Amino acid sequence: MKPYVIGIDMGGTNTAFGIVDARGTVIASSSIKTGKHSKIEDYIDELHTEISRIIVANDAEGKINGIGIGAPNANYFTGVIEDGVNLPWPTPIPLADLISKKFGIPCLITNDANAAAIGEMTYGAARGLKDFIMITLGTGVGSGIVVNGQMVYGHDGFAGELGHVIMKRNNGRVCGCGRTGCLEAYCSATGVARTAREFLEIRDEDSLLREYDIENITSKDVYDCAVKGDKLALDIFNYTGTILGEALADFVTFSSPEAFVIFGGLTKSGDYIMNPIREAFDKNIMKVFKGKVKILISELKESDAAVLGASALGWEIKED
C-alpha cells in the first residue's frame, strides 16, 4: 500500500484538503473557495492544480493510495452528491468519478459526519472500538454509526441522521430539514443561539447576554457569559445538554454502543455542556445499559479533523 492518502473536506464556503500519512499526520494542507466557480468542472480543475502543487512540494508523486472526500449529502455507495445543500452547482454530482478521472487516483466519498466517524475510528478516540456513535455538534447535528467495526449506511447510503430524530413532538422548532422539533434545532451551535434568544424574550432577569445584539448572538457569546457565572447562560447550557443527554440515552437502545464520541465547537464549552449531558444520560438510560456506555470527547484536532476524517476513506481503497 502506498504511504499517503489525500483527504478533502468540501464545505459550502471552503474546501480544505491535505496529504495524510498512516499515523494520521497531516503532512501538508491548504484550501480553496468552494463557491468561486459557477461550473463544477472549473472547481475540480482548481482543486487538481492546488493538490498537485502540495503533492509535488512534498515529494509525494506516485505515493498516493487513494482520495477520500467528506461532502454534504454525499452517498458512499454511488459516489454521488445527491442533494447539494449549500453548494453552488446543480445536483446530482458524480463527484467520486469526476475526481478519480481527473487525478488518476481512486476516490471514495461519504457525508461529513460519517467521514468524522471513520476518522475517529482510524486516528482518534474510537481506535479499537467496534461499536460507537459519533455525534458532531456544529452548525447542525450530524452522526455516524459504527456497528461491529462497520459504518452503518442503510440501503440507500443515508443512514445515521440522528440529528433529525424529533425531540419535541408538540410545538417544536422548525428545523432546516423542513420538519419540526428535531434534535438539531436545539443542540447545534445555532440551536444554542436560538435558545438564548428565546430565554431572553420570555425571561425578565438580568443577564450579561442582554448586552449583545439579540439577533446576532452566538453559542460562543453564551459560553463567555457562562464562564462569568451568568445564570441565564448556565441555564441555556443545562437546557441544551439535557436534551442531548436524553437523546443519547435513547440512541443506546438502537445499537448498544461502547461509546459516544462528541465532536465540534460546542465541546469547547467543557463541563458547562458535558455535565448536563452526562446527568440526563444517566437519568434516562435503560437499566440494562447502565454503566456500560462512555461519553468521550473527540481526540482529533479541530483544524485537521475534517481532512483526517475524509482521508481515512483513502485507506479503504485496495490496490489492484
Q: Which three cell numbers, joined as nine digits, stand for 60?
A: 509525494
Q: Are residues 152 and 89 in the same domain?
A: no
Confidence of residue 241 (pLDDT cuts 50, 70, 90): very high
Residue 211 lies in a domain: yes
Mean pLDDT comparison of 82-86, 203-207, 304-308, highest-scoring range: 203-207
Long-range contacts of the stretch 145-153 (C-beta < 8 A, 24+): 145/117, 145/255, 145/257, 146/117, 146/121, 146/257, 147/255, 149/121, 151/76, 151/110, 151/114, 151/117, 151/118, 152/255, 153/76, 153/77, 153/114
Residue 27 structural domain: 4-118+303-314
C-alpha cell at 193: 443561539
User: Given this model, what pLDDT does residue 170 score?
Assistant: 93
pLDDT at res. 320 = 57
Per-residue model confidence as pLDDT tens digits over 245-285: 999 999 999 999 999 999 988 999 999 999 999 999 999 99
> What pLDDT band is residue 64 in, cutting at 50, 70 and 90?
very high
**Are 206 and 272 contained in the same domain?**
yes
Q: Give the chain's mean pLDDT.
A: 94
pLDDT range class, residue 72, cuts 50, 70, 90: confident
Q: Is residue 123 part of a domain?
A: no
Same domain, 51 and 182: no
Whether residue 319 is contained in a domain is answered as no
Amino acid of residue 240: T
Cβ within 8 Å of residue 229, ≥6 positions away: none
Residue 208 in domain: yes
Number of separate domains in the chain: 2
Does residue 77 sit in the same domain as residue 148? no
What is the percent of the chain where pLDDT is above 70? 98
Looking at the structure, do residues 137 and 285 belong to the same domain, yes or no? yes
* Stretch 239-244: mean pLDDT: 98
- Tell me, yes or no, whether 167 and 220 share the same domain: yes
Pair (144, 245) in one structural domain? yes
pLDDT for 120-179, tens place per residue? 998 899 999 999 999 999 888 999 999 999 999 999 988 999 999 999 999 999 998 889
Residues 194, 105 share a domain: no
Q: Are residues 113 and 135 in the same domain?
A: no
**Same-domain status, 35 and 101:** yes
Residue 206 lies inside a defined structural domain of this protein: yes
Query: Residues 84, 30: one domain?
Result: yes
- The answer to whether residue 312 scores a pLDDT higher than 80 is yes
Are 203 and 276 in a shared domain? yes
